Amino acid sequence: MNSPKISIVTISYNRAGFLPEALESAIAQTFTDWELLIVDDGSTDNTREVAEGFIAKDERIRYYKNETNLKISRSRNRGLELARGKYVAMLDSDDIWCDPDKLSKQYEFLESHPDHALVGGGVIAIDADGKELKRYIDPSDDEDLRKLILIRNPFAQSSVMFPRQAIMDLGAYDVDLSGIEDYDLWMRIGIKWKFAILNEYLLKYRVHSGNISLTDRANTMRRNILLVNKYKDNYPNYLRAILRRTVRYHGYRVVSLIKNK
């Protein structure tokens, strides 16, 4: 069996209600030489049935279920281990690719820019019902992205594509960093390769109550502070980044304490 050019990795945990839109957005891509790996992280809903319905119609889709809930980092790494493509495009089960040329544009970019190992795109944030909340496109070139990446994460997980082998050589996602595993990986990628963001909207990122709680936001921000300190010698704007993270961390803690009284 010939390996596809792109492996799409979709992690799902009790997201059967959103999964069809994600899969349909992949099937709608004009670039067709792909495989799609659904890694079900121990769902208790009907994720398997939804996946099997798509598999029956498209042989490029495969389904794997973790026997136990391994959490996001280990599930992402399982997807990377199963992937056979030269490039990997991440597509979380509650997100949607809104540009049918997303894969072709990023594939062509990476093929013509071998010094780059991460390319993202513009993001449209939507609510649980698909209503637009906001949209943004971060700077497109490597130099500007390096100035930004300590301050905040400019790469939405479901917007990116990267060379599989390059990421495997880095050790893939850190299993001890669930919640910021993607941010840490981007930082490690940038030490060896260049970044880029296409100046086009490629992703609809879903924001809903299931994404992250207020307490989890505080914990994530605390881990972000550790991450900023870890990479402070690799990227500029450390002082601005650490101040921003520290203020947000204490803000989340205060609000969480008030709500829990």
The reported pLDDT for the residue numbered 216 is: 76
The average pLDDT across 68-81 equals: 96
CB 97 within 8 Å of CB 138: no
**Average pLDDT over every residue of 9-17:** 97
Q: How far apart are CA 56 and CA 22, in angstroms?
A: 17
Distance CA 176, CA 180 (A): 9
Q: 37-76: string of b/e by CB count within 10 Å (b at 16+)?
A: bbbbbebeeebeebbeebbeeeebbebeebeeebbbbbbb
pLDDT at 41 over 50: yes
Mean pLDDT, rounded, for 164-178: 95
DSSP assignment string, the chain: -PPPSEEEEEEESS-TTTHHHHHHHHHT-S---EEEEEEE-S-SSSHHHHHHHHHTT-TTEEEEE-SS--HHHHHHHHHHHH--SSEEEE--TT-EE--TTHHHHHHHHHHH-TTEEEEEEEEEEE-TTS-EEEEE----SHHHHHHHTTTS----GGG-EEEHHHHHHTTSS-TT-TTTHHHHHHHHHHHHSEEEEEEEEEEEEE--TTS--HHHHHHHHHHHHHHHHHTTTTSS-HHHHHHHHHHHHHHHHHHHHHHT-
Torsion of CA 67, 71, 158, 100, to 10 degrees: 10
Computed over every residue of the chain, the mean pLDDT equals: 94
pTM, 2 dp: 0.94
Q: Is the model more confident about 83 or about 251?
A: 83
The pLDDT, as a whole number, for residue 211 is: 47
Tell me, what's the pLDDT at 215?
A: 66
Least confident of 101-110, 135-144, 163-172, 219-228: 219-228
Placement of tokens 């879903």 in the chain = 206
